[in-house]
């Protein structure tokens, strides 16, 4: 590993991680809005998170990492479930710029992207706190626990007619020699073919989400993303942040499946998912042999991907982070507010078993009402 790459990785990590703390500190004063005006609070949080994800996009733009997205655009005026193969532990870092290019419509900057992630991530200082505020879903591979988390999420989306994007990795883990061996074992036990480029998907969460969200009329479409790294592929955070292993290009192809086109039965939904992964295996194998990827409309937003906009965004996050860290030092009130907020993020789920939305419903009874006829599935 060259010294230059090592420095690149460390600078990227510092920029990425310090801005995370800046974003979190912006959220702290908004905590009271979460109780008093939850819709405005959600919009404010989503806007900050989206602008931070754009910041990551500009960081990769400056690293000359080209994000090439083809296929169907994602409508920001819909509630969308996105499924993707999970090539590396840091796929999420590159899916943010994929979403930047793919999402279209008047609601684009307000349409937040969320992930289903392992429960252990939620308590990582800085990043985990922001993910909690951004309403990511954390699971621990215990179905009783995970089902309750998904039910909470579906309840919130239904009650608030909340337009957003939820990204799910049905494989459950990233592709590596150990997980491939586990996938092969699963294939042998279930009479399935062995895959060389993807892992066999686990269908339980996907089927439950589609089935329940459709029943509650709060899902408009499923988008299937096939993700490929043609050259460098950082397998984990160490390779990306410490070794500076940045891909020169990331390819993503998106196919839209409106909710009305999806199978109705749970068994057929499982088959639908398995077919998508069989197609991914074939697509990636063909790319490895020929260098040709799936064709389709190129999805690209270039208007804000210029060096002036990149430098402005970098300066914004440096000033915000520096100013709020200084405020912690100068203001005891703000310092205690930050400490109290961090403690609440750790203790509320442990003590009450509730997220803030359920806490608000239970204690204050201020459930937001969806306007009559305001359905998620539009004819």
Give the pLDDT score at 368: 46
Per-run averaged pLDDT (10 residues), the chain, 379 residues: 83 93 91 80 91 95 94 96 96 96 92 92 89 90 89 90 94 94 93 94 96 96 97 92 92 97 96 97 95 91 92 96 95 94 77 52 48 43
Q: Within 13 Å, how many C-alpha atoms sit on residue 234's CB side?
A: 24
Answer for the pair 23, 52: CB distance below 8 angstroms, yes or no: yes
Answer for the pair 334, 125: CB distance below 8 angstroms, yes or no: no
Partnered with residue 112 across adjacent β-strands are 164
Polymer length in residues for the chain = 379
How big is the chain by its Cα radius of gyration, in Å? 21
Give the pLDDT score at 154: 94
Give the pLDDT score at 354: 45
Q: Where are the domains of the chain?
A: 3-364
Among 283, 319, 367, 343, CA closest to 23: 319
Cα 10 from chain centroid (whole Å): 23
Whole-number Å distance between alpha carbons of 32 and 49: 18
Whole-number Å distance between alpha carbons of 100 and 46: 14
Give the pLDDT score at 370: 42
Buried b (16+ CB within 10 A) or exposed e, 232-257: eebeeeebbbbbbbbbeebbbbbebb
Answer for the pair 323, 21: CB distance below 8 angstroms, yes or no: no
Whole-number Å distance between alpha carbons of 379 and 112: 24
Place of tokens 């390819």: 251
What's the pTM? 0.91
The 10 Å Cβ neighbour count of residue 374 is 10
End-to-end CA separation in angstroms for the chain: 55
């Amino acid at each position: 590993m060259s010294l230059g790459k090592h420095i690149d990785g460390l600078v990227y990590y510092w920029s990425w991680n310090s801005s995370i703390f800046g974003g979190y500190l912006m959220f702290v004063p908004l905590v009271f809005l979460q109780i008093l005006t939850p819709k405005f609070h959600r919009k404010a949080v989503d806007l900050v998170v989206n602008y931070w994800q754009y910041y990551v996009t500009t960081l990769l733009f400056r690293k000359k990492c080209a994000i090439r997205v083809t296929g169907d655009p994602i409508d920001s005026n819909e509630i969308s479930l996105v499924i993707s193969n999970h090539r590396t532990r840091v796929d999420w870092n590159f899916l943010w710029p994929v979403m930047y290019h793919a999402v279209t419509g008047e609601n684009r900057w307000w349409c937040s992207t969320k992930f289903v992630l392992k429960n252990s991530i939620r308590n990582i200082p800085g990043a985990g706190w922001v993910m909690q505020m951004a309403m990511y879903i954390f699971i621990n591979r215990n179905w009783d626990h995970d089902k309750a988390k998904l039910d909470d999420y579906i309840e919130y989306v239904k009650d608030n007619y909340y337009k957003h994007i939820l990204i799910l990795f049905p494989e459950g883990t990233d592709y590596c020699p150990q997980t491939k061996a586990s996938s092969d074992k699963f294939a042998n036990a279930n009479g399935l073919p062995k895959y060389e480029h993807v892992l066999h998907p686990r269908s339980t969460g996907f089927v439950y989400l589609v089935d329940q969200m459709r029943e509650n009329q709060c899902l408009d479409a499923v988008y299937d993303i096939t993700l490929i790294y043609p050259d460098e592929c950082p397998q984990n955070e160490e390779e990306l942040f410490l070794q500076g292993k940045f891909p020169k290009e990331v390819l993503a192809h998106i196919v839209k499946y409106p909710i009305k086109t999806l199978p109705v039965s749970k068994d057929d939904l499982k088959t639908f998912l398995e077919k998508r992964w069989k197609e991914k295996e074939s697509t990636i194998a063909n790319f490895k042999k020929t260098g040709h990827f799936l064709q389709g409309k190129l999805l690209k937003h270039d208007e804000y991907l210029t060096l002036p906009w990149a430098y402005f965004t970098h300066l914004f996050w440096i000033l915000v982070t520096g100013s709020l860290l200084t405020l912690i030092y100068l203001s005891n009130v703000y310092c205690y507010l930050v400490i109290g907020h961090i403690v609440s993020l750790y203790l509320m789920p442990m003590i009450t078993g509730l997220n803030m939305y359920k806490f608000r419903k239970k204690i204050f009874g201020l459930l937001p009402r969806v306007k009559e006829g305001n359905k998620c599935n539009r004819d």
